[in-house]
Amino acid sequence: MLNVCLVEPEIPPNTGNVSRLCAGLDVPLHLVGRLGFSISDRAIRRAGLDYWEHVKLTHHKDWEAFKEALGKTPQSGPRFIYTSAFADDLYTDIEYQLGDVLIFGRESKGLDPALWAETAGPVVRIPHWGPVRSLNMSNAVAVVAYEAMRQLRERGLVPPPIPRAPDKPRP
């Protein structure tokens, strides 16, 4: 349906949260480049809880390896959608498509603009009304990914979500 890509993520709990989100949406998670932690790090596993077995995780050594794995060339392959606090278009301004790759940058610096200059695709931002520079990366992934899934579901391109299980009594 979609792919989520984190380029050089730095904070283990953020990546753990994103991995749990990807398990919940049943979408692949791609980690690209040098990570600021080990994938076996306790913090990332704790944030992902017991959902790790459901995460479709691939770690690509660099941007070129990532593009090659997805079959991305200037003429073909999935559409890359980049996120940046400096983009003109809002994440709600585009029509998401099956196979889109949602790309997010490092927590400290965001995405290098050279990436979207080299591999064309829409660049979108999440609006802010307060004095923050940007949202937490895992929150930003959730906002954009759920908007994409909402649009795809409304157009009948993805099935409705699994119904919520009834609450179990707590001991």
Determine the residue type at 44: I
159 in any annotated domain:
no
170 in any annotated domain:
no
73 in any annotated domain:
yes
For residue 12, what are its two tokens? 């283990």
pLDDT at 8 over 70: yes
- Read off the CATH number of the domain in which 55 is found: 3.40.1280.10
Per-residue pLDDT at 143? 97
Q: What is the number of domains present in the chain?
A: 1
Per-residue pLDDT at 163? 79
141 in any annotated domain:
yes
Token pair 């999935």 in the structure block, residue: 78
Is the model more confident about 16 or about 75? Answer: 16
92 in any annotated domain:
yes
Q: How far apart are the first and last CA of the chain?
A: 38
Confidence band, pLDDT 50/70/90 cuts, at residue 55:
confident
Residue 90 has phi, psi (to 5 degrees) of -80, 155
Confidence band, pLDDT 50/70/90 cuts, at residue 171:
low
Per-residue pLDDT at 41? 54
**Range from 108-117, 129-138, 146-155 that averages highest in pLDDT:** 146-155
What does each C-alpha distance from 45 to 52, 75, 123, 170 come to in angstroms?
7, 38, 30, 25
161 in any annotated domain:
no
CA dist., res. 44 & res. 48, Å (int): 6
134 in any annotated domain:
yes
Confidence band, pLDDT 50/70/90 cuts, at residue 144:
very high
Domain region containing 84 = 3-154
CA dist., res. 144 & res. 138, Å (int): 10
Token pair 């983009």 in the structure block, residue: 87
Span 104-129, average pLDDT: 90
86 in any annotated domain:
yes
Reading across the β-sheet that carries 29-32, which strands appear in turn?
57-60, 29-32, 3-7, 101-104, 80-83, 123-125, 89-90
Beta strands in 61-143, from DSSP E residues, in sequence order: 80-83, 89-90, 101-104, 123-125
pLDDT tens sequence across 64-78 = 999 999 998 877 899
Mean pLDDT of the chain: 88
pLDDT at 44 over 80: no
Per-residue pLDDT at 50? 66
pLDDT at 134 over 60: yes
